[in-house]
A and B are shown apart, each in its own frame.
Chain A
Amino acid sequence: MPRLSRVAVLLLAVPLALGACKKKPVAVEPEPQLPAQPVTPPQQPVDDEAARRAEEERMRRAIEMARSALLQVIYYDYDSDELRSDARATLDDKLRVLNANPSLRIRIEGHCDERGTDQYNLALGRRRADQAKRYLTDRGIDASRIETTSFGRERPAVTGSNEEAWAQNRRGEFQIVAGGTELRAP
């Protein structure tokens, strides 16, 4: 299971990272109206089977949205563990998913760019993860639901020795440790 979610993180990280080239990553809002109203009012002679499928599809999409909000990467400034406003917005999305799924447990991994030194970067990555964790626990998430770790500069998202690459490597990644299979949309 951790293996699978790692792959998911990587798959997600790539398009997000590409997006970051153009502009700061935009927080993915889980469609707010989803739980409120049905997407398509059933047509007259309803095929029960079709309706059920549509409902399933709608649920599936809502869960995918929740999952991608949960896994969305956050970014940091150079030699800093402070949460930027874009990171806070991303964490707010995660907060909603965590609140809707009390059995969900996650791990936050801090990463650094290649500058700085190997040992310092390991410690800095831990600080970055800890800051993100504190943001969530300050807003009511039980600390026991969030692990933190650091990979320093050991697992860069992109290779390259330029500001663009560094910006994408200074990040926090999120993994689902438990409760990811029966995810509910917020």
Chain B
Amino acid sequence: MPALPVRFPSFPAIGAPRVVAALAIGATLLLGGARPAAAQERPSGVSLTLEYQPGRRVAIMVLPIRGAAGDSIKTILERDLDFSDRFQHVPAITAPPFGQPLNYALVARAGAAGVVQAELLQSGWLRVLLHDVAGKKVLQQSDFPLPTAVNTDGWRLGVHAIADQLEEWVTGQKGIAATRIAFVRDGRVWVVDSDGANARAVTPRGMSPSWHPSGRYLVYHVLEDDRHRLAVTDLVTGSQRSLTNQGGSLDNSPAISPDGRSVVFSRSVEATAGQTDLFVMPFQGGATTRISVARGSINTAPSWSPDGRRITFSSDRSGRNEIYISDADGTNVSLLTADAFGERNLRADPSWSPDGRLVAYSSEVGGRRQILTINLRDRSVSQVTSDGRNDTPAWAPDGRHLVFTSTRGGTEQLWVADTETGRTRQLTRGAGARLAEWSPRLSVTP
């Protein structure tokens, strides 16, 4: 993740050494003359200035919010900021009446570099202020629409969007709270909010969901007795339509292109026994085109590059399952994962990161399936998981977090890992969950 300059008025754009200096000064000066006892207990890696640094977490406080829904909003915002892995939550002090000056010295002593202050307006909108504690002023302010019906899906999404805006104000990059994760449970496609709330089934049956870039549709795979077909669900109307439906054809593992126009998927037909090929077809339906040409091999699990010009997929054409990259029309195939570990690794499940830099995948490591990432520039490999059996990674839109299936808790559940810090959290609970795909950032409809 590149360092993101922050629009921070009290520190004009300066070179890196100055930023470090600012941090050092921050630890002593920002907290005023009083000896900051709390500051010494703070874990390392927590930034005391609002200047965001990769690898550091900005200490932030969300003040209590008046009104019936205030507690819920505060709780959701705090959790979202925590899950972003870019903020360190600081317990709130008693809030001053909205509109009255904040006691910056007091919140500084509590260890906060930033303070979020919010008030529910008569209109139902939420007015949000972000205080820069060191600068002793309001850094940003905005009013956000919220649906009137509290705790509905749309209302929660609205609160998540506020957390994402706060994150952008501080780090320069929008958060991923206002997103959802589609997954498979009990033979149906489900959707859950990014914070683990609101898990619900969205199709009568099916698996392997893939998000449309609009966030409105999912393409998924339906197992019938004599065929597997692809279908589309409209999350707004709840309707389902068939995309492919051909007797004897096993169509699965769909992935919608970043422009939303095409679907790449894997298909095996009886005429070419033992072979599974990649096909492309329009999202609106129509003719299918075969794009992989490896005789007798299995080619599956395709994932698009963010520019939609290439795909990564798994293939056993060499005799072992490895990850390959090709152009979107199937030409220019190259092996991505070199066979370096000397055993039957069965590398699979590639997922291309939204910033285009990495491909996440799963591989046997010492007899157990784990999540790894490979850097496309230098082919360097990093291992993301080591606990339990882990597979089918999928990137969040921030290109930093991964959702995947893990057995570390005893049953198959979805977990989220921050690839920068290694911090991990459990996303789903209850009946087994797998085959997750992260949605794009979702727009709020008040």
The closest CB in chain A to the CB of B313 belongs to: A119
| CA of A122 to CA of B207, assembled, Å | 12
- On whether the beta carbons of B274 and A122 are closer than 8 Å, the reply is no
Closest to B368 in A: A115
| Known contacts A79-B344, A130-B273, A150-B250; A118 and B434 CB within 8 A of each other | yes
Is B391 positioned at the interface, with any CB of A under 8 Å from its CB?
Answer: yes
- Does B373 have its Cβ within 8 Å of any Cβ on chain A? no
Note all chain A residues with C-beta closer than 8 A to B223.
Answer: 151, 154
> A149 contacts B266, CB within 8 Å?
no
Q: Using a Cβ–Cβ cut-off of 8 Å, how many residues does chain A contribute to the interface with B? A: 29
Chain B interface mostly: strand
The 6 closest A-B pairs by CB, nearest first: A130-B273, A123-B298, A123-B276, A117-B348, A119-B301, A119-B300
Q: Compute the total of residue contacts between A and B using a CB distance below 8 Å.
A: 90
Residues in B with CB closer than 8 Å to A133 are: 273
Known: A79-B344, A107-B226, A150-B250. A120 touches B300 (CB 8 A): yes
Of residues 195 through 238 on chain B, the ones whose CB sits less than 8 Å from some CB of chain A are: 207-208, 223, 225-228
Is A123 a contact of B346 with CB atoms below 8 Å?
Answer: no
Beta-carbon contact of A122 and B252 below 8 Å? yes
Contact of B225 among A107, A120, A154, A161 (CB under 8 A): A107
Closest A residue by C-beta to B227: A149
Residues of A97-154 whose CB lies within 8 A of B? 107, 115-120, 122-124, 126-127, 130-131, 133-134, 147-151, 154
**B435 is an interface residue with CB less than 8 A from chain A:** yes
Q: How large is the interface on B (under 10, 10 to 19, 20 to 34, 35 or more residues)?
A: 35 or more
* Residues of B close to A79: CB separation below 8 A: 344, 346
Give the residues in chain A near B321, CB-CB below 8 Å. 120
Q: Is the CB of B349 within 8 A of A119?
A: yes
Does B370 sit within 8 A of A, measured CB to CB? Answer: no
**Chain B residues close to A by CB (< 8 Å):** 187, 207-208, 223, 225-228, 248, 250, 252-253, 266, 268, 270, 273-274, 276, 298, 300-301, 314, 316, 321, 344, 346, 348-349, 362, 369, 391-392, 407, 434-435
Cα of A127 to Cα of B272 in the assembled complex, Å: 10
Given A107-B226, A120-B316, 5 more pairs with CB closer than 8 A: A81-B274, A118-B392, A118-B434, A126-B276, A161-B407
Q: Do A117 and B274 have beta carbons less than 8 Å apart?
A: no
In Å, the complex CA distance between A117 and B392 comes to 8
Q: Which residues of A contact B (CB under 8 A)?
A: 2, 6, 79, 81, 107, 115-120, 122-124, 126-127, 130-131, 133-134, 147-151, 154, 161, 175, 177
Q: Using Cβ atoms and an 8 Å threshold, which residues of chain A touch B434? A: 118
Highest count of chain B CB atoms <10 Å: which of A127, A134, A177? A127
From the candidates B225, B276, B369, name the one contacting A115 in the complex (CB within 8 A).
B369
In the bound complex, do residue A118 and residue B435 qualify as a contact, i.e. CB atoms below 8 Å apart?
Answer: yes
Which chain A residue shows the least CB distance to B277?
Answer: A123
| Cα–Cα distance between A16 and B138 once the two chains are bound (Å) | 73
Nearest CB of chain A from residue B98's CB, rounded to whole Å: 51
A117 touches B346 (CB 8 A): yes
* Contact B250–A149 (Cβ < 8 Å): yes
Q: Which of A119, A147, A149, A151 contacts B208 (CB 8 A)?
A: A119
Nearest-Cβ distance from residue A6 to partner chain B, whole angstroms:
8
Contacts of B314 in A (CB 8 A): 117, 119-120
